[in-house]
Structure 1
Amino acid sequence: MITLNKKKAFNNYETTLIIKPEQTEEDTVRIRLIQTYKNTNNSHGASKIFAQNKGRNHLTYLIKKYSDGIYVQINYEANGQIVKKIEKIIRFDEKITRHLTIKNNNYLIKQQASCYI
């Protein structure tokens, strides 16, 4: 976390979730799951939350005996403590087979570049 003039600066993060393929494409459970994580991010203090459903994809290797998975990408601005809380919630969710959170510096660069054009 970066501190500027005694104010906490948030970093941009990208979390990718792989949901079990038992959920269908139009399943309301999956839509509720996305809304749940958006609300969780918002309630813990994250901002600029953008969730995107990437759809069903074939996995290159089996994960928990599944060959397919539904990918969901969530971009948000938060600090490291919020990310730890969100990952803890994700770890205990049985519908999610894998997750990955990265610090996304390219998002900030693209945003700044679009302002100067």
Structure 2
Amino acid sequence: MPEEKQPRPQISADVRRRLLMDAAMTVMKREGIAAASTRAICQEAGMAHGVFHYCFRSKYELFAALIEADFNAPWRRHGASSAQRPTPKTDSATCSPNTGPAWRRTPGISSCSQS
């Protein structure tokens, strides 16, 4: 008698995103950011490559989610509501070489994109 296939458990999109984010961190630590391909990330997460694009539009969107999660982590630990959290500025009109974090003020590193 042939074996019956067991249905795969349903995983929510939020859980899949979190698994991909965790896998991305593992791959980036092991291989470096530039070498962290979406295929390697999916393989680390144990998911098909197509699932990646179901959760994220691009590798850059995944990286943005990792940065946002890292930015919000200290606020979640201290129980701050979303209204109490500061938000990172993304307005390029206020961008100048002498504002922002120290890495932005470092000579040779531009904090503004030139269009």
Q: TM-score range by the shorter chain?
A: under 0.3
Q: Which has the higher helix share?
A: 2
Q: What's the TM-score once normalised by structure 2's chain length? A: 0.28
Higher share in strand: 1
